[in-house]
Structure 1
């Protein structure tokens, strides 16, 4: 299949805000908000919290995620991994709602905004934050782009866990308190599991499409049943990890409030394990994104309660 499919992208209509929002995939943005909330809460628990730093970090992570979504849309189109009927794509290029160059421009513009916010963080925190920003941007860009194409090599899950689980959570702590924290690292593990579960569910839904173009996601490499079991392991693992880290004293006991969200996870897992139709998996993606946000809000609340009492 050709690298660039030229015809669908030529007659894009005048853009409006709905098209931009659609292409940014807003339901995925919980993956940027959630780790910032948790990492910042751990910093407050340790005794330091700055609102301006928090807001700059949150906005930088949001625009980094939005840019990643635009680049993913663009490169999947360019490399022939999506088509007009792809469930995983927002298909704005194929529908002539945006040209390929406009989607690419959206990704670049989002990264530019993230960089500008990064300069503010450098002013507030110091030059060490450059390492966080560069690492995050490189993973975000090469998640879809050559030469690495992490998402097409079965490495997307690892990269998402590292970037949006460990890096964003611990990074949100680090910009508040400039040091390593085992507590922030511990908090990043359940967050990373749930963020990765969103991606894995996306790959389960797109199994047939990815198989047809030899996009070697984990479900393509190991089979659809593996993908469904992996989803269950990630969701259940988030609760196990939170509990273990609480029992060993790395997280405050109020962190166990996350078990209040367990019925949502259980319903999610049961639907995925018994589901056969792609519609089930489409619903599960959004429910997993919602679970991530609810889980992390409750975890944040638990940490804040521990801070106050």
Structure 2
């Protein structure tokens, strides 16, 4: 029971809600362009994406426990690690095996799709797998790579990959639709780094709040939010996306509240938590509204 509880902690189940929200956009662009979906492929896409998310979460927990970062962070509902391996360090190797197991599931699903659909999917898949295993050990030590990596994985790679699997081709529509997701997810991780600055800096990490400070990082976050909505508006005006995608603008008040909370942050972590919650809601609701807009656009 202890082993199961610890592994579930490293998986961080509530965080997995982000995956279907992001993948749904690629499914939506495929449906908008073709008017049909392969249900078996949709299921495999979701399983592969969830396995990838679990893998990166567990790798992150494992390496953070090994570096002793978990003992230095101030834990919040949205950041600072689960503390599962800190409480049960003897299960670290079991967690590492889980990370590699879920990595393998994602890789096997990718190999299946490449064999069925062609080599064109291979570069996207290889980049995704590389990101899984190197994010915590490499990307987080460069502020700009650390900034783009989460959005790249959950945005461009997941959305474009899902679209390709369901249509057999890459699409400018899928790429454009992936950009709001990319910006939002990178913003999600950016704000979650605010409470961890001292702990992360102590082990040599160099993300944006460490390099630029809280105020400048908050403005970057606000810029990401603004670009998210501008891309949707411009894409609709250019008829790249259906007009119903403007539904996603309904989350703008959440973006404002998250930005205002980040900009007001003066090291008061309890004060920041509501903004972090708004940021999570923004990341879950906006992609789903985009997907709904794409589906409505086919009718």
The TM-score with structure 1 as length reference comes to 0.87
Task: State which of 109, 127, 140 in structure 2 corresponds to 1:151.
Answer: 140
Deviation at 1:137, TM superposition (A): 1.0
> Alignment partner of 1:214: what SS?
coil
Moved >6 Å (runs of 4+): none
Equivalent of 1:68, from 41, 56, 61?
56
How many Å separate the matches in 2 of 1:30 and 1:198?
A: 13
Aligned to 2:94: 102
Name 1:178's counterpart in structure 2: 168
Would you say how many aligned residue pairs link Structure 1 and Structure 2? 292
Cα deviation, 1:101-155, whole Å, max 9, x if unaligned, reads: 122112111112222322443354334333322210101110112xxx1112222
| Paired residues of 1:252 and 1:306 also in contact (CA < 8 A) | yes
Residue-by-residue CA offset, 1:170-224 (whole Å, 9 max, x unaligned): 1111111122211111101111011101110111121122233331111101112
Deviation at 1:230, TM superposition (A): 1.8
Shift, 1:84, TM fit: 5.6
Report which stretch shifted further, 168-177 or 125-134.
125-134
- The answer to which of 185-194 and 161-170 deviates more is 161-170
The TM-score, its normalising length taken from structure 2, stands at 0.90
- Does the CA contact (< 8 Å) of 1:60 and 1:114 recur in 2? yes
Q: Does 1:278 align with 2:269?
A: yes
CA RMSD of aligned residues (A): 2.0
Task: Measure, in 2, the Cα distance between the counterparts of 1:273 and 1:75.
Answer: 30
What SS is found at the alignment partner of 2:205?
Answer: coil
SS in 1 for 2:87: coil
SS in 2 for 1:180: coil
CA contact (8 A) 2:117 2:165 kept: yes
1:297 — aligned with what?
288
Q: C-alpha separation between the residues in 1 aligned to 2:294 and 2:95?
A: 39
Give the C-alpha shift of residue 246 in structure 1: 1.3
Runs (5+) with no aligned partner, structure 1: 1-12
User: Equivalent of 2:7, from 20, 45, 50?
Assistant: 20
Instruction: State how far apart, in whole Å, the 1-side matches of 2:73 and 2:146 are.
Output: 23
* Alpha-carbon distance in structure 1 between the residues aligned to 2:50 and 2:235: 28
Distance of aligned partners of 1:83 and 1:252 in 2 relative to their CA distance in 1, 3 Å threshold: same
Name which of 108, 122, 136 aligns with 2:128.
136
Aligned equivalents of 1:63, 1:290: Cα separation in 2: 22
Partner Cα separation in structure 2 for residue 211 and residue 185 of structure 1: 34
Residue 79 of structure 2 corresponds to residue 79 of structure 1? no
Q: What stretches of structure 2 of length at least 5 have no aligned partner? A: none
Contact 2:22 2:181 in 1 (8 A): yes
**1: CA distance between counterparts of 2:220 and 2:170?**
30
CA distance in 1, matches of 2:73, 2:40: 43
Which moved further from structure 2: 214-223 or 130-139? 130-139
- Point out the structure with the larger helix share: 2
Q: Give the secondary structure class of the aligned counterpart of 2:167.
A: coil
